[in-house]
């Protein structure tokens, strides 16, 4: 039996099986096997075609946002409004066939926004422009779902398509560590009680991935899908934001009803009519969780014009890396003025965590 037939067999079995406490073990194992087979199939396919999937998109700016939506929802119109880009806009589906980048400048940050071709259901398994498009999202810092006010249900489809290619939206990486050991079998230590899978299932799922000797540390009440994600190791976890476009076509009552009815939060906008785009810019910036750090030359002026923009939680090291690749080798200490220190001009090491609007002087050898 070839890999596709094996996949089909397991999928059929999964469809037939009702999920409950009694079948939990069986289902978990099937999922582990299925994910492994799909990975093998993918590897075989990419070996055969010899090409790497995905468009070549040069990352630039301080962070990258991708626009994900069905065809004709207004992604390109939105890109053109938020950035300096000129992506083609038209009233037919699949107007955009390439990845079109633009830069949005906001609060001193340069945020790259990528306009992608429209996604349709089944894209992740090759429909439409499919996988190549979706894979661009893997390297982004934020997914911006663009919906049409008359198709709010599209969000579920988009989330599902991203999930299929290994992108988890608005989820945290499961708090599980697997340390492979040369011998000694599998030991599982849990910090919380597992309510959705047994330790025995954890062990058997590891064996599906040929991890026969390992120490597993589980620090949250994970389910089988999360363990599969950890075992595959190639999942990315990206936050998202949702906009409901074309609200110029409906009245306020319609939008309010949607807000009450839908499970997710969204920002109502009209890309064409310029409605709420300022609020959207601010939300994008906030969601990216960036901070600004101002450079002060030694005994000199502070450059408030062009801040260094880094992720919240960054240390002096990240700033060094942004200034120049080699500067960390010559680094002696930094002086900081701002909220991350007790007094102005305090000396700190390379691992000091910075806060928004800190002023920094790098002292090198
Ligand atoms: N009424 C209204 N129409 C809009 C709005 N934004 C975009 N449109 C129209 O919707 C159509 C599709 O817009 P595009 O920006 O090309 O949509 P897209 O999502 O990039 O489409 P694809 O590239 O084909 O996936 C065009 O006719 C736009 O003029 C809006 O806010 N309101
Ligand atoms: Mg487009």
Three-state DSSP class for 214? strand
Q: Which CATH superfamily, name and number, covers 290-364?
A: Beta-grasp domain (3.10.20.30)
Q: Which of 26-35, 188-197, 238-247 has the highest mean pLDDT?
A: 238-247
| Ligand 1 pocket check for 93: Cβ under 6 Å | yes
CB 246 within 8 Å of CB 270: yes
| Ligand 1 pocket check for 246: Cβ under 6 Å | yes
> Which ligand sits nearest to residue 123's alpha carbon?
1
**Over the stretch 109-119, which tens digit does the pLDDT of each residue have?**
999 999 998 88
Phi, psi of 117, rounded to the nearest 5 degrees: -60, 155
359, pLDDT greater than 90: yes
- Residues 128, 123: Cα–Cα separation, whole Å: 6
Mutation probe of ligand 1 site: the residue of 70, 77, 254 with most atoms within 8 A of C-beta:
77
Q: How far is CA 99 from CA 114, 129, 217, 270, 285, in A?
A: 6, 11, 41, 22, 22
- Return the closest-CA partner of residue 105 out of 292, 343, 269, 314: 292
- Residues 315, 324: Cα–Cα separation, whole Å: 15
**pTM for the whole structure:** 0.85
- Residues 5, 8: Cα–Cα separation, whole Å: 5
Q: 63-171+236-288 has which CATH code?
A: 3.40.50.300
24, pLDDT greater than 70: yes
Q: Where in the chain is the domain with CATH 3.40.50.300?
A: 63-171+236-288
Q: How far is CA 192 from CA 1, 185, 304, in A?
A: 41, 22, 48
Mutation probe of ligand 1 site: the residue of 68, 74, 96, 113 with most atoms within 8 A of C-beta:
74
63, pLDDT greater than 70: yes
**Residues in CB range of 211: below 8 A, 6 or more apart:** 178, 180, 186, 231
- Token look-up 């799909």 returns 38
pLDDT given at position 49: 61
> Which ligand sits nearest to residue 249's alpha carbon?
1
**Over the stretch 271-287, which tens digit does the pLDDT of each residue have?**
999 999 999 999 999 99
| Ligand 1 pocket check for 248: Cβ under 6 Å | yes
pLDDT band at 126 (very low <50, low <70, confident <90, very high): low
pLDDT given at position 54: 54
Distance 98 CA to ligand 2 centre (A): 9
User: What is the percentage of the chain residues whose pLDDT exceeds 70?
Assistant: 95
CB 177 within 8 Å of CB 227: no
155, pLDDT greater than 80: yes
Distance 72 CA to ligand 1 centre (A): 5
- Return the closest-CA partner of residue 196 out of 31, 16, 9: 31
- Residues 284, 110: Cα–Cα separation, whole Å: 12
**Burial grade of 364 (CB within 10 A; 0-12, 13-18, 19 or more):** middle
pLDDT band at 55 (very low <50, low <70, confident <90, very high): low
Secondary structure of 151-179 as H, E, C letters: CCCHHHHHHHHHHHCCEEECCCCCCEEEE
Q: Which of 32-46, 135-149, 227-241 is predicted with the least confidence, judged by mean pLDDT?
A: 32-46
**Would strands 109-115 and 100-106 be described as parallel, antiparallel, or unpaired?**
antiparallel
- Residues 232, 39: Cα–Cα separation, whole Å: 8
Specify the residue with its C-alpha closest to ligand 1, atom 9. 74
Residue 56 DSSP one-character state: -
pLDDT band at 317 (very low <50, low <70, confident <90, very high): very high
For the chain, give the mean pLDDT: 91
**Over the stretch 92-110, which tens digit does the pLDDT of each residue have?**
888 888 899 999 999 989 9
What is the dihedral angle through the alpha carbons of 212, 214, 218, 222, rounded to the nearest 10 degrees? -20
Q: Which of 25-29, 135-139, 173-177, 313-317 is predicted with the least confidence, judged by mean pLDDT?
A: 135-139
Tokens of 222: 């994970």
pLDDT band at 215 (very low <50, low <70, confident <90, very high): very high
324, pLDDT greater than 90: no
pLDDT given at position 59: 77
18, pLDDT greater than 90: no
233, pLDDT greater than 90: no
Mean pLDDT of 47-64: 70
Q: Taken in order 18, 19, 23, 28, is the CA torsion positive or negative?
A: positive
pLDDT given at position 352: 97
**Residues in CB range of 332: below 8 A, 6 or more apart:** 363, 364, 365
The secondary element (H helix, E strand) that includes residue 3 is helix 3-16
The secondary element (H helix, E strand) that includes residue 144 is strand 142-148
The secondary element (H helix, E strand) that includes residue 266 is none
pLDDT band at 266 (very low <50, low <70, confident <90, very high): very high
Q: Where in the chain is the domain with CATH 3.10.20.30?
A: 290-364
Q: Which of 56-60, 226-230, 320-324 is predicted with the least confidence, judged by mean pLDDT?
A: 56-60
């Amino acid at each position: 039996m070839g890999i596709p037939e094996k996949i089909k067999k397991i999928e059929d079995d999964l469809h037939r099986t009702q999920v409950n406490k009694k079948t939990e073990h069986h289902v978990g194992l099937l999922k582990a096997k299925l994910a492994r087979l799909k990975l093998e199939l993918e590897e075989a396919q990419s070996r055969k075609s010899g090409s790497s999937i995905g468009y070549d998109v040069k990352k630039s700016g301080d962070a990258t946002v991708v626009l994900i939506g069905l065809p004709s929802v207004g992604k390109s119109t939105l890109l053109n409004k938020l950035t300096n880009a000129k992506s083609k806009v038209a009233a037919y589906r699949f107007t955009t066939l390439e990845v079109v980048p633009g830069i949005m400048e906001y609060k001193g940050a340069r945020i790259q926004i990528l306009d992608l071709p429209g996604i349709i259901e089944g894209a992740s398994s090759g429909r439409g422009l499919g996988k190549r498009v979706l894979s661009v999202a893997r390297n982004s810092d934020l997914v911006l779902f663009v919906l049409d006010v008359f198709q709010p249900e599209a969000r579920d489809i988009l989330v599902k398509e991203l999930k299929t290619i290994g992108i988890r939206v608005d989820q945290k990486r499961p708090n599980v560590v697997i340390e492979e050991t040369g011998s000694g079998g599998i030991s599982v230590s849990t910090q919380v009680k597992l309510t959705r899978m047994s330790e025995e299932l954890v062990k058997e799922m590891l064996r599906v991935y040929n991890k026969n000797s390992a120490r597993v540390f589980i620090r949250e009440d994970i389910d089988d899908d999360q363990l599969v994600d950890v075992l595959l190791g190639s999942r990315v976890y990206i936050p998202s934001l949702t906009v409901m476009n074309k609200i110029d076509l409906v009245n306020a009552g319609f939008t309010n009803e949607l807000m009450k009815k839908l499970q997710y939060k969204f920002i109502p906008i009209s890309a064409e009519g310029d409605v709420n785009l300022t609020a959207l810019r601010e939300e994008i910036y906030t969601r990216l969780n960036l901070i600004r750090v101002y450079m002060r030359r030694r005994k000199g002026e502070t450059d408030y014009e062009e801040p260094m923009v880094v992720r919240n939680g960054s240390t002096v090291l990240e700033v060094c890396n942004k200034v120049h690749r080699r500067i960390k080798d010559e680094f002696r200490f930094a002086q900081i003025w701002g909220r991350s220190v007790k007094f102005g001009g305090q000396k700190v090491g390379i691992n000091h965590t910075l806060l928004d609007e800190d002023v920094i002087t790098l002292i090198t050898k």
